[in-house]
Amino acid sequence: MIFQARVRAAVLPLLLSACSYQHYQSDFGGAAVADRQFLTLFWIFIGVCAFMYALVIAFLIAGIARRSRKAEANVVETGRHHQSDPLMRSTLIGWAALIGVGLAALAIASFVADRSMAKAATNEKLAVTVTGNQWWWDIVYSSDQPSKMLHTANELHLPVGVPTRIYLNSNDVIHSFWVPSLGGKQDLIPGRNNAITVVPKTTGIFRGQCAEFCGTQHAHMALVVVVESYPDFIKWWDGQLQPAPAPATPVALAGYKYVTTGPCSACHSIGGTPASATVGPDLTHLASRKSIAAGMLPMSKGNLYGWVEDPQSLKPGSKMPTIGLEPDQLHAVVAYLETLK
Amino acid sequence: MSSRFRVSLLVLGAAALTLTACDREEHHSRAKPVGETVPAGMSPPTIFPGSSNPPALDYRAKLYDNNANAIARGQQLYTQMNCVGCHSHGGGGMGPPLMDDQWRYGGRIDQIATTITEGRPNGMPSWRGKLTEDQIWQLAAYVRSLSGLPSKDAVSSRSESMSAGTPQSLTPHPETNNSDAVPQ
């Protein structure tokens, strides 16, 4: 009985993950990527490798069967059949040719995919810098006008159909930028400038995550990618450039005072307030995001309460310390954070 | 001495070595619950000039001193909280150097933690209410490692910065010269 319940408890989440996240994060997706060269490349590799693997296994089985027959006939193995046996000779030549053709096919396919990616990189329309941190993503949108430069975190908005160059860097250890639905994966290496070009094809919300083990909370280093129409994207950008609204209620005002003078301001910045530290994620429009703690928890009042009060029990080892806020301080801080739309 | 005896001695020696590594990197990611942190103005008095009978080390000293994780986290905080702005990477500038053997307010880890919590005259700001107690003690553990005070197995054996500097485990261990505090 208990065993059955345990099995059910173990299987149910798997089923859930198979259903609800099918489009949210799909490894074979490439759903949102414009030219599907990556997916094609993937299937060419799978095809060639699967064919060669099947062939090797078939020869192995044939070899085992043949060997046992010979053993019965008590024939001494010389290891020089290919010199005497014409069939063996032609088979070996054919085998070598097959390997050559297979490798050439893979090389040509990856060269073509690589070139088409490099071509997309030359007509970039938008430049975004994503910096990896343990365990969250810092995002900066570049613009010709300094006043249009946008600093945000953990939620990447991209306009559909626009080639976007994403520059990748890291502040601590090696991370990896991987949004399966956009195709491609690229490491974020401290002290090295990497970049990847994406051209989203369809609008939607996709999930990305760190794909290089980067410490205790690597599994909870996720990224929400929102692909939207160009006008929507510009509207979002302009909205995010606005400073945080002034607190309207007395509770929010108390929260504002605590956040901007207390421990929060030692690490976080909120546009338009004295809080301007860059150690942790920017909070200017926190409440407009879909998740908190780098894609770990959905944005909600309850999750904000839990996260602010005790981040170390939700994400142990996270760089955000448990401050130990008193209940009145906690109410005020959450009331203020909720106004940051 | 038989070879078997020698082998078992070797195995025992290796086992003993692994034991010493056990508490090198204890993680205290959970800070103390509400109500257990020291309230304002309650940092232990840490200056005891000329005293032949110094007070015992704070109980937290053994949690952070010689703890590899605390030292590594302290190193990150040291840059993040811009200690570098005044103290440079230990060599000093506007603030006093931290990698020499001089300690104006004492070089014990509880003395350094009090210095960071309360601030000191002529520029050192108070970090009370900005950093948690946990973070302050991690910083104190790192500051001690700048002058090579913790044991070598706790400090990083490679430089954490981009430039390949001398690893901290090779920092020389100077004789501490405390004009007003007790010898270490």
Residue B56: pLDDT band (50, 70, 90) is confident
Distance from CA of B35 to the nearest CA of A (A): 8
Among A172, A190, A266, select the one facing B81 at the smallest CB separation: A266
pLDDT at B164: 60
Say if strands A155-159 and A222-228 run parallel, antiparallel, or are unpaired.
parallel
CATH numeric code, A250-338: 2.60.40.420
Domain membership of residue B57 (yes or no) is: no
pLDDT digits (tens, 9 = 90+) for A41-86: 888 999 999 999 999 999 899 888 876 665 555 556 666 666 667 8
Helix (H, G, I), strand (E, B) or coil at A278: coil
Q: Confirm if A128 and A140 have CB atoms less than 8 A apart.
A: yes
Strand partners of residue A136: A133
pLDDT digits (tens, 9 = 90+) for B130-160: 888 889 999 999 999 888 888 777 887 766 6
A316 contact B CB<8A:
yes
Q: What's the whole-number mean pLDDT along residues B19-36?
A: 59
Question: Which residue of chain B has the CA closest to A324?
Answer: B34
pLDDT at B149: 82
Give the number of C-alpha atoms closer than 13 A to the C-alpha of residue B16, restricted to the C-beta side. 6
CA–CA distance, A258 with B21 (Å, rounded to integer): 42
Q: Confirm if A37 and A113 have CB atoms less than 8 A apart.
A: yes
pLDDT at A91: 84
A324 contact B CB<8A:
yes
Domain membership of residue B111 (yes or no) is: yes
Domains A126-240 and A250-338 share a fold: yes
Q: Domain limits at B69?
A: 65-152
Size of interface A-B (CB pairs under 8 A): 44
Domain count, chain B: 1
CATH number of domain containing B124? 1.10.760.10
Distance from CA of B9 to the nearest CA of A (A): 37
Among B29, B37, B135, select the one facing A316 at the smallest CB separation: B29
Question: Which residue of chain A has the CA closest to B134?
Answer: A321
Distance from CA of B25 to the nearest CA of A (A): 13
CA–CA distance, A198 with A87 (Å, rounded to integer): 51
Domain membership of residue B99 (yes or no) is: yes
pLDDT at A30: 56
Domain membership of residue B107 (yes or no) is: yes
A262 contacts B134? CB cut-off 8 A: no
B81 contacts A317? CB cut-off 8 A: no
Domain membership of residue B73 (yes or no) is: yes
Among B34, B80, B132, select the one facing A326 at the smallest CB separation: B34
Helix (H, G, I), strand (E, B) or coil at A338: helix
Strand partners of residue A209: A178, A222
Domain membership of residue B12 (yes or no) is: no
Measured from the Cβ of residue A60, the count of other Cβ atoms closer than 10 Å reads: 10
Residues of chain B contacting A269 with CB distance shorter than 8 Å: none
Q: What's the whole-number mean pLDDT along residues B100-125?
A: 89
CA–CA distance, B107 with B149 (Å, rounded to integer): 9
B131 contacts A317? CB cut-off 8 A: no
> What is the torsion angle, in degrees rounded to the nearest 10, for the CA atoms of residue A113, residue A119, residue A123 and residue A124?
40
Whether residue B183 has pLDDT greater than 60:
no
pLDDT at A37: 73
Residues of chain A contacting B37 with CB distance shorter than 8 Å: 324
Residue B168: pLDDT band (50, 70, 90) is confident
Q: What's the whole-number mean pLDDT along residues B85-98?
A: 89
A274 contact B CB<8A:
no
- Between A98 and B12, whose confidence is greater? A98
For residue A135, cis peptide bond before it (omega within 30 degrees of 0): yes
A313 contact B CB<8A:
yes
Domain membership of residue B120 (yes or no) is: yes
Residues of chain A contacting B29 with CB distance shorter than 8 Å: 312, 316-318
From chain B residues 67-106, the ones with a CB under 8 A of any chain A CB are: 76, 80-81
A262 contacts B30? CB cut-off 8 A: no
Q: Confirm if A294 and A213 have CB atoms less than 8 A apart.
A: no
Domain membership of residue B60 (yes or no) is: no
pLDDT tens, residue order, chain A (341 aa):
455 555 555 554 444 444 344 456 766 655 556 556 777 888 899 999 999 999 999 989 988 887 666 555 555 666 666 666 788 788 889 999 999 999 999 999 999 888 877 776 677 789 999 999 999 999 999 998 999 999 999 999 999 988 899 999 999 899 999 988 887 789 999 989 999 888 888 888 989 999 999 998 999 999 999 999 999 999 999 999 999 999 999 999 999 999 999 899 999 999 999 998 989 999 999 999 999 999 999 999 999 999 999 898 899 888 898 888 889 999 999 999 999 98
Whether residue B55 has pLDDT greater than 90:
no
Q: Which pTM does this prediction carry?
A: 0.77
Residues of chain B contacting A319 with CB distance shorter than 8 Å: 76
A263 contact B CB<8A:
yes
Residue boundaries of the structural domains of chain A: 37-122, 126-240, 250-338
B81 contacts A323? CB cut-off 8 A: no
Q: Which CATH number fits domain A126-240: 3.40.47.10, 3.90.1150.10, 2.60.40.420, 3.30.470.20?
A: 2.60.40.420
Pick from A267, A269, A325, A326 the residue to mutate for testing the B interface (most B CBs within 10 Å). Answer: A267
CA–CA distance, A212 with A330 (Å, rounded to integer): 35
From chain A residues 189-228, the ones with a CB under 8 A of any chain B CB are: 190-191
Q: What's the whole-number mean pLDDT along residues B105-114?
A: 88
Question: Which residue of chain B has the CA closest to A134?
Answer: B76
pLDDT digits (tens, 9 = 90+) for A78-130: 666 666 678 878 888 999 999 999 999 999 999 988 887 777 667 778 999 99
CA–CA distance, A283 with A281 (Å, rounded to integer): 6
Residues of chain B contacting A323 with CB distance shorter than 8 Å: 31, 132
pLDDT at B21: 57
B132 contacts A324? CB cut-off 8 A: yes
Q: What's chain B's average pLDDT?
A: 77
